[in-house]
Structure 1
Amino acid sequence: MAKKRKQSEKEASSELIKKKEEFSVERPKRTLLGWKDKDVEEKKQNDSPFFRNKEKVLVTCSRRIIFRYRHLMLNVVSILPHCKKDNKIDSKESKGGALNELVELKNCSSCLFFECRKQKDLYLWMAKCPNGPSVKFLVNAVHTMEELKLTGNHLKGSRPILTFSTNFDNDPHWKLLKEIITQIFGVPKDHRKAKPFHDHVFVFSIVDDHIWFRNYQISVPHNEIDKVDRGGLDKMTLVEVGPRFCLNPIKIFGGSFGGPTLYENPYYVSPNQIRALEKKKQAGKYAKKVKAKKRRRIHEETNALERDEFADIWKD
């Protein structure tokens, strides 16, 4: 028969177990590359004096998008190496919640959403997720790389130089748009798919309250005679690559895909209103023709011509 432990021995053993639990060090996690220590990694991330850009952009579109706008979206994906492409999404009232969830699942911080309506009009959403702000644009003057057949050809995955016209510093809403565009279109330096040099330029310029986008390759002669030194900008040339498009800002929201309106464009006219006015003009032309016929009939009745004397002779 086994002897029972005394109460004092039980208490002493429990105290020893507690002390061991207090002073025991957690074992580091094992990964495929070896042992991983949490504290060392956190210290490295927090103590680093340099800012590391971890921007990732989710690019997606709505259902029933036409081929031309889909090609534009694919061109944007090809010039942004730090983006992730996803499946089409239904453009309903609840699209904001679905897109925010998708952005979180894909581990992204921004979103470009191409929304096509009536298979005619293209809207572009630029959003910082999940807290905002977000901007809604109407996209005009769309020209894809396949349409233009331009001679420029930069390396895929290279980092672009972003240039903005001086108009972006005039008003606060243009400054906000400049910051959003810089964060979304600026490729991070240490991204795994990005090349560590610059050979093309993204140009954003404001003309008639519209943002015009152009993409140029920096062409430098590489002959031994015409070798360019540092700072020799006279021999460098810009060759357009594409795509081209124009952004007409509609609204700036405080949240992601919604929220309080920070800015509303007073000069914006929706494409539906433009088409309605054109229909009215066409209807007005038909109404003018009908009125002109009535006036001529009344004029002919009131101003009847006198009977010709030679009409009977010619009949005989």
Structure 2
Amino acid sequence: MPADDIEILDPNHPTKKRALRWKRKTRVLVICSRRVDYRSRHLMKNLLKFLPHAKGDSKFDRKKGLTELNDIAEIKNCTKIMYFESHKLKDVFLYMSDSKLGLSAVFLLHNICTMEELKLTGNCLKSSRAILSFGTEFDERPHLNLFKELFVSIFSTPCGHPKSQPFIDHVFTFSLVDDKVWFRNYQILPEGAGLAEVGPRMVLEPVKVFNGSFSGSVIYKNPLYRTPNTLRRFEKLQTQKKSHNRLVEQLATRTKKKKRAALLNFDPDADFAFEDE
């Protein structure tokens, strides 16, 4: 949590109690592109419930250029941006940007599950603050450390935010599995009873990191990343290869059966000539 996110005693407070000063005025713009699928829309709504410092906006037209998102964020008085972009109604990319520092990262989303789909037992207060939990892997590699700082700046609710509740009752966890970031949301059960998952769920596969907000040069590129079109093309070729091998096996089997029938189908009444001994 940032160092300026602290409690300060305000002597001018009418009740002379400990009051919270809203110092870190971070706001996040949550926006999506046109023709986005229904699951991504519900995921955005779930995130807006848990991020009281986030603001929504109408759908964005990709033809205008991604750099215009910085102007929309400036109009909305936001410094962070979460942009969901849909391709072919199949693939969803998540852009996370810090327009103030000039940094942006692109992730491919997998296994999106909304709260309405999961129907989990966990429950937490709306607009309450969350604890952010990261695996030890995020401190071992530079690009993961960069992702960690970006997640903290976007998902951490500023202390004393007017729309946030003064409670901490859930945890955002970020863990690294198979070079992908797994996001989960858990409720902190009372009396140390453990955790209960609330939802939503998503898996973020890193693609690229730029040194500018939706612009600039690439400072990191995932060497293990393969585009969804490439994977679908490979699966199609594998299916065609299996079909071709199946046809070859069927043709070979038919050929063997014909040769066998030719050897076994002889006339029993045919005259056979035997040489004299």
Fold-level similarity (TM above 0.5): yes
The question of 1:160 aligning with 2:117 is answered no
Q: 1:186 maps to what in 2?
A: 156
What is the CA-CA distance between 1:119 and the residue it aligns to? Answer: 0.6
SS at match of 2:126: coil
Are positions 1:203 and 2:173 aligned together? yes
Larger RCO, structures 1/2 (Cα 8 Å, 6+ apart):
2
* TM-superposition CA deviations, 1:31-59 (whole Å, max 9, x none): xxxxxxxxxxxxxxxxxxx9921100000
Residue of structure 2 equivalent to 1:174: 144
Distance 1:236 1:306, change over 3 A: closer
8 Å CA contact 2:185–2:198 kept in 1: the answer is yes
Counterpart of 1:277? 234
Determine whether 1:266 maps to 2:226: no
Deviation at 1:294, TM superposition (A): 3.7
Q: How far has the Cα of 1:274 moved from its partner?
A: 1.1
**Superposed displacement of residue 82, structure 1:** 0.3
- Taking the aligned partners of 1:161 and 1:297, their CA distance within structure 2 comes to 67
Distance 1:57-1:300 versus aligned 2 partners, 3 A rule: same
> Residues 122, 306 of structure 1: CA spacing in aligned structure 2 closer, same or farther, 3 A cutoff?
same
2: CA distance between counterparts of 1:121 and 1:215?
A: 23
1:64 matched residue in structure 2: 35
Count of equivalent residues = 249
Matches within 5 A, 1:79-118: 79-92=50-63, 94-118=64-88
Question: How many angstroms does 1:299 deviate by?
Answer: 4.1
Alpha-carbon distance between aligned partners in 1 of 2:209 and 2:219, rounded to the nearest angstrom: 5
Unaligned runs of 5+ in 1: 1-49, 222-234
In structure 1, the residue corresponding to 2:263 is in which secondary structure?
coil
TM value normalised by structure 2: 0.84
User: For the structure 1 residues 216 and 297, does the alpha-carbon distance in structure 2 shift closer, same or farther, using more than 3 Å as the test?
Assistant: closer
Q: Aligned residue for 1:225?
A: none
Determine if contact 1:100/1:130 at 8 Å carries over to the other structure.
no
Residue 130 (structure 1) shift:
4.7
How many percent identity over aligned positions? 46
Instruction: Give the SS at the match of 2:183.
Output: strand
1: CA distance between counterparts of 2:122 and 2:254?
A: 65
Which deviations, in whole Å up to 9, do the C-alpha atoms of 1:287-310 show, x marking residues without a partner? 223323443455456663143445
Q: CA RMSD for the aligned pairs?
A: 2.0
**Structure 2 gap ranges (5+):** 1-20, 271-277
Secondary structure of the equivalent of 1:251?
Answer: strand
1:108 Cα deviation (Å)? Answer: 0.3
